Structure 1
Amino acid sequence: MLRTFDLVLIGVMTAAAAVTYTIKHRAELKLEEVHRLEAEIKLEKDTIDLLKADWALQSQPNRLERLVTNYNSELQLQPTVSTSLVHARELPMLKSQVPVPEIADAKGTKPKAKTVPAKPAENEDEDDMATGSVE
């Protein structure tokens, strides 16, 4: 009654159903993983927001001033003197500005060392404040 062709078709349909089920099961697992990752991301974002709010509370100037007055005897903090602040142009030269020696050419003459000039800061605030730094 059943022909060989019918048996082959039943086998193909069974295999197709099994493949479809495994694909569906894998997709559901991936969807669960996506939901888990989204929940972790939301938790991390909430934690970051909470830490930012906590930092804002901890760094309030009136709170810091109160702590300084309470613990001044132990900490012995002093205000920063304006002469101890320097501009970037007053710092020692960068590595890119250090002279690089070159190898002597075939004639035995030594070429001059090259230096790379630093680019000046474009938006640097200029003032006439003496900083007392080493020039």
Structure 2
Amino acid sequence: MLKTFDLVLIGVMTATAAVTYTIKHRAELKLEEVHRLEAEIKLEEDTIDLLKADWALQSQPNRLERLVKAYDDELQLQPTQSTSLVHAKELPMLKSEVPVPEVTEAKASAKGATEASAKGATGASAKGATGASAKGAALAGATVTTKAQSVPKPAPRAAEEDEADEIETGSVE
């Protein structure tokens, strides 16, 4: 009986050693994978730092000014006016967020006239047509209310600026 018990214990010890070796081997493989991932992360961080430094070098105001002067004839760039800059809260809303105007105190004839004037406007975009209908309703005596905050409109442009914006077209030989 002692021999059977010894054989069972030897078998259990061998199985335990095999399981321990398997677990140790898997842990070493996972550790190698962790080291590989850490090396990839370090490489990516170094690349990001290098790209940030390159961007800082490329976007230096003195360098950009020299480039503008060198290519002034080709680019014809103009300085940005301070009135052209806006804050994020001043930007128009997304089309999905634009509220539908509520017409109150509108007469049926005024509403019909407004729709006709919006339909009769040729070449007007949908945005322009809704603006035209709101203006028409306001002119007809109706009160137009919206839930949106009004956005300041830019000043009208002079005729000379419109002529400068025209693009000359020509054939390419």
Report the TM-score range of the alignment, normalised by the length of the smaller protein.
Answer: 0.5 to 0.7
Conserved? CA contact 1:82–1:131, under 8 Å: no
Distance 1:93 1:51 in 2: 34
SS of 1:3's equivalent?
helix
Distance 1:117 1:131 in 2: 18
SS of 1:78's equivalent?
coil
TM norm structure 1: 0.67
Distance 1:91 1:51 in 2: 31
SS of 2:79's equivalent?
coil
What is the 5 A alignment of 1:103-122? Answer: none
Letter in 1 for 2:47: T
Q: 1:36 to 1:60 in 2, by over 3 A?
A: same
How far is 1:79 from its partner? 1.3
Residue in 1 aligned with 2:57?
A: 57
Given candidates 116, 132, 135, the residue that maps to 2:155 is: 132
Letter in 2 for 1:81: Q
Residue in 1 aligned with 2:12?
A: 12
Distance 2:87 2:56 in 1: 29
Q: CA RMSD in A?
A: 2.8
Identity percentage of aligned residues: 79
1:66 aligns with 2:66: yes
Distance 1:29 1:89 in 2: 53
Q: For structure 1, which runs of at least 5 residues remain unmatched after alignment? A: 102-114, 119-129
Conserved? CA contact 2:99–2:147, under 8 Å: yes
How far is 1:83 from its partner? 3.7
Across the two proteins, how many residue pairs are aligned to each other? 109
How far is 1:96 from its partner? 4.0
How far is 1:5 from its partner? 1.3
Residue in 2 aligned with 1:99?
A: 100
